[in-house]
Structure 1
């Protein structure tokens, strides 16, 4: 049994039973930390729904949570859209003491940065996301964001414009890389993922396939923007396939 309770076996490219955290960190960690990488992490049911009862967390299981936490552990910054922060009930983004110790030993900051993406700045400056954050959060927004909301958030976060009327993916990446946050881990939501794909800014996707049928009105893991033109297919390479009691943990990278 693994140290975190959820047994995860590797099926591809090699078969390995009951992976330990060090083996998982080797799979999910960057090959070269000096090379910028933007990876998204999502979960979907077998029939393609990104949510159950309106929440992605309802599809999860201990194995998914374990890998989710380890991806945060190797990241320089966790990027989340404000809508996902609200709907999924995010609090302050803080890793546990073991993960913090691992990061320090690896020469990383004790905690990853937390970047919230919001065009409207519909965020509560008094929420735990800001009030008890271990690292001053970043808020990535647009020039057109309401000035009063920007002023309120500037007391608790670094508020940065990444576009005139919306958050442009290329500028989002440039802003984070300029701050030395090269390993970028995106946790949603679907609209943000859609914009990253449209801009061809996504380098990798960690996709968990939950062994459940949702069968309702759940959405896909990605939403296109309203004026998005049809895209050519984005070819990805399959890096690994893991299994935990029927839950598949897939990892894809951009074909070079």
Structure 2
């Protein structure tokens, strides 16, 4: 692995963004499994966790699907000495909010995303979701955004984040959200860690959902640590 200064320079967002730049983070086994026992932690390593935390430190907002947030036990992001110092140096807000995508507005008002957080979460839902559920989340302190009528509209969601000044978007999955972003051609960078493990069958892909024409990416960097390969792919011209 490289030193922290070089790592930050490699993974930082382009300067002067005036529109959302979306990076997506995933870890897979060498045979393509996205999880072990239903969660991604079994595939990770200290180096991968460092890159994952850096993605949060450098972002304006963390974007995640509700299924992943629920399975992984998400809470609001916390202050840490490294995060606080880095974000202050870069002129970013103290802690980035989490924006959770839930077309049916399924996040309960007592979720740790709302009750254990420094900054209010953003709940991105569809217009067809239950208005009462949206009102309950708003009353609990969430910033509720309607992006799409009958389902999730990725472009509308990113426009809503941009309207809030949140252009540095760090997407942490899950597979359906990643698939939706691919289908809408809204992925600018993929940070993919390949773990030196064979997990066997039973686990899904890192992207699912609607089919899309293949999108060509360029390899921007490759790092290795203890057998784990950390790859960074960027869309051409970004």
TM-score in terms of structure 2 length: 0.95
Other-structure match for 2:70: 86
> Alpha-carbon deviation of 1:125?
1.2
Mapping for residues 170-189 of structure 1, pairs under 5 Å: 170-189=155-174
8 Å Cα contact 2:194-2:228 kept in structure 1: yes
Mapping for residues 154-165 of structure 1, pairs under 5 Å: 154-155=138-139, 156-165=141-150
SS at match of 1:31: coil
Q: Is 1:26 aligned with 2:37?
A: no
Other-structure match for 1:70: 54
8 Å Cα contact 1:101-1:110 kept in structure 2: no
Mapping for residues 92-241 of structure 1, pairs under 5 Å: 92-155=76-139, 156-224=141-209, 228=210, 230-241=211-222
What are the ranges of 5 or more consecutive residues in structure 2 without an aligned counterpart? none
Looking at structure 1, the residues matched to 121 and 111 of structure 2 have their Cα atoms a distance apart, in angstroms, of: 12
Looking at structure 2, the residues matched to 58 and 95 of structure 1 have their Cα atoms a distance apart, in angstroms, of: 25
Task: Give the paired residue count.
Answer: 235
Looking at structure 2, the residues matched to 114 and 95 of structure 1 have their Cα atoms a distance apart, in angstroms, of: 14
Q: 1:95 to 1:248 in 2, by over 3 A?
A: farther
> Alpha-carbon deviation of 1:89?
1.1
Which ranges of 4 or more aligned residues in structure 1 deviate by more than 6 Å?
A: none
What are the ranges of 5 or more consecutive residues in structure 1 without an aligned counterpart? 1-7, 9-18
> Alpha-carbon deviation of 1:147?
1.6
Calculate the aligned-residue CA RMSD, in Å: 1.1
Q: Deviations over 1:86-128 (max 9, x none)?
A: 0111122224122112211221111112101001111121122
